[in-house]
Amino acid sequence: MARHIVWHEADSANELWYRYQSETIRELRLRWHALWLLRQGYTRNAVIQALGINPRTLRDWIGWYQTGGCAEVAHHRSGRRAAYPCRLSVEQQAELAAWAADGLFYTVKEARQWVADTWLVVYSYDGMRTLLDRIGIHPRVPRPLAVQADVAAQEAWKKGGCWTRCVRRRRLTPRG
């Protein structure tokens, strides 16, 4: 890549400043800031130091700008996956929510198994958890109560009735 940046005529320092100031998406705001600083004459190293970014990142942003201008820079988005359509139809999602409300399953693992048995659609654990969260289902299981638990003894302990005195033994160390 050439060391010299070929700036587009429409992208003056004022235009890049305006983009930087008005941008609400953090990752794009940082890009506009970097380009604005470069457009003002700052060196690449100065921009890297000022913004705390990786040199490769800045090189990518400059490459995108050289390829297609500001439109190309704004087009790239990091950390976002393409929106994949849900494997279940809207009706199936509604049925899943209804069965969850009726208590057919209580855990994500049980929901995965039920969906696989009912509609032959296989989800990973995290995929099913995301789906359940997206349709407003939050499966939770209360902790089981032990069969041998003595509720009266537990209540007495909570009220402080079963305290035993603990004696701490002091360890003697020689002074020296």
Residue with structure tokens 């890297």? 48
Q: Of 75, 88, 95, 64, which is closest to residue 25 (Cα–Cα)?
A: 75
- List the structure tokens of 58: 């800045």
- List the structure tokens of 38: 């470069």
Domain boundaries of the chain, sorted by first residue: 13-75, 90-134
Write down how long the chain is: 176
pTM of the predicted protein model: 0.47
The residues, any chain, with a CB within 8 Å of residue 81's CB and separated by 6 or more, are: none
- pLDDT tens-digit readout, 122-142: 999 988 988 998 888 876 656
- pLDDT tens-digit readout, 22-46: 988 888 999 999 999 999 999 999 9
| Mean pLDDT, rounded, for 137-153 | 73
Where helices occur in the chain by DSSP H, the ranges are 13-22, 26-39, 44-51, 55-75, 90-101, 108-119, 125-134, 151-158
